[in-house]
Amino acid sequence: MVMVGPPGGAGGGFFGPSATSTSAASGLPFAGVPSELREGAERILATEPEPPEPDVRYEPAAGEPPLTLRALVAPERPHIAIAVLLVIVETVTGLAGPLLTAIAIDEGVAERRPGVVFAMAGIYAGLVVVQALAGFGRLSLTGRIAERILEGLRIRIFTHLQRQSIDFFTRSRSGVLLSRMTSDVDALSALLQEGYVNLIVQGLTVVLVTVVLFVLSPTLAALLLVIVVPVFVVLTWWFRGASTVTYERVRDRIADVLADLQEHLAGIRIVSATNRRRHNEVLHREVVGRYRDASLDGSRIGAIYGPAAEVTGLVGQAGVLLVGGWQVLDGNLTIGELTAFVLYLTTFFAPIQQLVQLYNVYQQGNAALGKLGDLLAVEPEVRERADATELPPIDGQVELSGVGFAYVEGTPVLDDVDLAIAPGEIIALVGPTGAGKSTLAKLVARFHDVGAGRVTVDGHDVRDVTLESLRRQLGIVPQEPFLFHGSIRDNVAFGVPDATDAQVRAAVDAVGLAPLIERTALGIDTPVHERGVSLSAGERQLLALARALLARPAVLILDEATSNLDLESEARVERALDTVLDGTTGILIAHRLATAMRADRIAVVDDGGLAELGTHDELVELDGRYAALHRAWLAAGGAERTERPRR
C-alpha cells in the first residue's frame, strides 16, 4: 500500500502555472494548492531547466504507421535489455534471505559455528545492498523509457489530430477525443510503468520460489500448490472482479453527487427564487446516500479480502509447520530448511496477489492501445498532394467552376455551382439554414474537397497548393469566436505570432476594443480565460475580428454570428467588420439582411445552387426571393441601404 498523491486524483487544475495567485480571486482566503505542499512544489520547480525548443515538424500529408506495442517500444530496445537484466538481479538477490537463514541455522547454530552465521548474515546484507542498487537503477531506467515513449505518443496522436479536417472535429465528440489523449494514454502509461516490470518481477518470483520450495521439500511444496494456492488465487480473483465493479460504481456515484451539487450551485438563484431548496436537499440526500452505500460495499469487499488472504496464508503456514514438523521429527527435513520454507511462504503470496491485480492494468492498457490505434488509423479527408506547391502571394481572385459536393452520396448539397469573385470584392451568401452557404465557403478554404468541378484562387486549383500557404492567405472567422487560454495578445496574434505589440494594439484599436484594454491593468497581456478579464459575447467577437485583421489575409471568409448581441455590441461589430473587410476579398455568410446589404454582390444559395446573384439593387429589381425578404424588412421599419464606407 503506497498511498501517495492527491486523494482521488482530484483537483488537477489547481496547480497550473498561474495558480499561485488565485486565492484572492476566489473570494475565500485559502483556495488552490494545498498550502502544506506549496513550498515543496516550488522548490522542485526551481530546479527545472529551460526546456529545449521542441523539434517537431508538421507534415499534413504524412501517413501514420499502425500502432503496435512492438513498434512503440522498438527504439528503446537496448535500454529495455538493460532494464530486464536489472530486474532479474533485483529479483534473484531479493530471494536469497531465507536460504541463507537456513544455512546459518543448520550449519551455524546447530553445529555451534558462529563464523558460518556471521558469513551468511554478511552475504545477506551484501545482497540486500545489491538489490537496492539494482532497484534504484531499474526504477529510474524503466521510468525514463516509459516517459519517453509516452511523450512521443502524445505528440504523435496530437499531430495526427491536427491533420484531420474540420468535419472530423464536428463529427467526433470532443470529450471522447480528449479522453484518448488523457485517460487512454494514462492507461498505457500504467501498463508501461508498472505492468510489464511487475509481470517480470512477480512472475520470476513465483517461479523461483516454487523451484526452491520443491528443492527444499517436494511434499510440502506439492501440498502447498494443491491446497493453499488455489484457495488464494480464487479469493484474489473474486476480489479483483468485485472490487473493480464496486470501484466503478463508487466512481459513477461520486460523479452523480458532484454533478448534483454543481447544478444546485449553478442554478442556486433559480433554486432560491422557486423555493426549491428543500426538495433539492432530499434529492441530494438520495445521491449522497447511494454513494455512501457503494463506498460501504467497496470497503466491505476490501475488509473481507485483506484478512481472508492473511488467514489463508497463516493457516497454510500452520499446515506447513505441522507436516514439515513431522518431517523434521522423522529426520527428513532440517529445522533450517523448515524455517526457510516458512519464510519463503510469506514471499510467495504477495506476488500472486500482485499478478492477479495486474490483470486490470493489462486489460485497460491493451484496450487503450486498441483505441489509440484506431484513432491513428483515421485517414484525413483532405490530404495535401505530395507534389503540392507553395501558393504565391495572391490578389484574391476566387473562382468556382462547376462545383458539386455531397456529404452523403446521392444527396448533393451543391450541384454545378459557378461563381467568380474579383479581388477586393465583397460577396454575401444568403439563404435558408442548410442550403449550403457554409459548405460553399468551406470548399473555398479547402476544408472539404469538391466532388466535381474545381475551386481556384488566382487561377491555382486549391488542391494543387500546400494547405499552409493556402490558409495563410485565406482567413476564416468562425461563427463562434473561440478564444484560447492566454492573453489578449496571444489570441489576437494567433495568426501572426511574431506581430509586435504595436501591431496588436493597432488591430485591437481598429475593431474598437481600446476601452477593454484600458479597463485592465495588464493591457494586451491580460489573460482572457476564467482567471482573467470576463469578456462579453460582443467583445469576444471583436477579438476574433482583430485576429483576422492582424493576419490580413487576401481572402477573408466570415461566418456571421447569429448569437444574441446587445445593441451596442452589434453596432461595434458591424463597424469593425467594415474595417476588417477593407481591401480584402470577402465572402460573408450572412444571417441578417443588414449584413448582406453591405456586400458588393449578394448570392442567394438554395436548392444546391445559386438561386439569385447580383448587386442589392439588381436583386431588388429582379423581384425574387431576396426582394421579398427586403420588402418584409422595410415593412418592419428597416432603414434603407447604407453604403459600406470605403477608405
Partner 1 sequence: MSPWEPVAATTGYPEPVAGVDPDPERSWMRRLAPMVRPHRRIIVVALLAALIAMGAQVALPRIVMLTVDDALTSDDGNLVPYVALMAGVAVVRGIATFGYRYGLYGAAYRLEYDLRTLIHRHLGHLSFSFYDRVQSGQIISRANSDIRSIQMFGAFAPIVTIQLLTLIGALVVMLTIDPLLTAVALLGIPGVFVAAQRLRDLVFPLSWLVQARLADFATVVDENLNGARVVKAFAAEEREIEKLARSARRIRWVSVVQIDARARWSPIVEAIPRLSLALVLAVGGWRAAEGAITVGALLAFSQYVLLLAAPFRFLGFVLILGQRARASAGRILELLDERPTVVDRPGAVDLLEAPGEIRFDGVAFAYADDEPVLEEVDLTLHRGETLAVVGRSGSGKSTIARLLLRFYDVDDGRVTIDGRDVRDLTQSSLRHHIAFVPDDAFLFSASLRDNIAFARPGARQEEVADAARDAAAADFIEALPDGYDTVVGERGYDLSGGQRQRVSLARGLLADPAVLVLDDATSAVDVRVEEQIHAALAERRHQRTTLLIAHRLSTIALADRVALLDEGRIVATGTHEELLAREPRYAELLATTDRTAAEEPARW
Q: Which of residues 333-352 bind partner 1 (CB under 8 A)?
A: 335, 338-339, 342-343
- How far is residue 491's CA from residue 494's CA, in Å, rounded to a whole number? 5
Cell numbers given for 471: 490558409
Sole binder of partner 1 in the list 200, 223, 321, 622 (CB under 8 A) = 321
Sole binder of partner 1 in the list 63, 307, 370, 392 (CB under 8 A) = 307
Nearer to partner 1, 88 or 452 (CB): 88
Q: For the residues of 417-439, what is the DSSP string, one character each?
A: EEEEE-TT-EEEEE-STTSSHHH
Exposure string of 479-491, with b = 16+ CB inside 10 Å and e = fewer, is bebebeeebbbbb
Nearer to partner 1, 410 or 497 (CB): 497
Residue 207 sits in the site that holds partner 1 (CB under 8 A):
no
Residue 211 sits in the site that holds partner 1 (CB under 8 A):
no
Size of the site for partner 1 (CB under 8 A): 205
Sole binder of partner 1 in the list 80, 139, 533, 622 (CB under 8 A) = 139
Residue 453 sits in the site that holds partner 1 (CB under 8 A):
no
Which residue's C-alpha cell is 535489455? 81
Nearest partner of 221 among 235, 234, 203, 206, judged by Cα = 206
Residue 62 sits in the site that holds partner 1 (CB under 8 A):
no
**Contacts (CB under 8 A) with partner 1, residues 561-600:** 562-564, 566-568, 570-571, 590-594
**Contacts (CB under 8 A) with partner 1, residues 425-444:** 430-433
Nearer to partner 1, 79 or 292 (CB): 292
Interface map 88-117 toward partner 1 (x if CB under 8 A): ---------x--xx--xx--xxx-xxx--x
Contacts 24+ apart (CB under 8 A), 293-297: 294/246, 294/249, 294/250, 294/253, 295/250, 297/246, 297/249
Stretch that binds partner 1, among 17-25, 220-228, 240-248, 367-375 (CB under 8 A): 17-25
- How far is residue 155's CA from residue 277's CA, in Å, rounded to a whole number? 48
Nearer to partner 1, 452 or 641 (CB): 641
Nearer to partner 1, 143 or 614 (CB): 143
- How far is residue 530's CA from residue 524's CA, in Å, rounded to a whole number? 16
Residue 407 sits in the site that holds partner 1 (CB under 8 A):
no
Interface map 595-634 toward partner 1 (x if CB under 8 A): ----------------------------------xx-xx-
Helix axes 229-266, 335-376, angle to 10 degrees: 40
End-to-end CA distance of the chain: 73
| CB contact set of 73 (below 8 Å; sequence gap of 6+) | 80, 145, 149
C-alpha to C-alpha distances, 425 to 133, 274, 420, 559, 583, nearest whole angstrom? 74, 54, 10, 16, 8
**Contacts (CB under 8 A) with partner 1, residues 164-203:** 165-166, 169, 174, 177-178, 181-182, 186
- How far is residue 445's CA from residue 1's CA, in Å, rounded to a whole number? 56
**Contacts (CB under 8 A) with partner 1, residues 519-558:** 544, 547, 551
Residue 386 sits in the site that holds partner 1 (CB under 8 A):
no
Nearest partner of 313 among 346, 351, 272, 282, judged by Cα = 346
Instruction: For residue 530, count CB atoms less than 10 angstroms from its CB and return exposed for 0-12, middle for 13-18, buried for 19 or more.
Output: exposed
Cell numbers given for 371: 483505441
Interface map 387-406 toward partner 1 (x if CB under 8 A): --------------------
Residue 26 sits in the site that holds partner 1 (CB under 8 A):
yes
**Contacts (CB under 8 A) with partner 1, residues 467-526:** 467-468, 470-472, 475-478, 482-485, 494-495, 497
Stretch that binds partner 1, among 123-131, 397-405, 448-456, 577-585 (CB under 8 A): 123-131
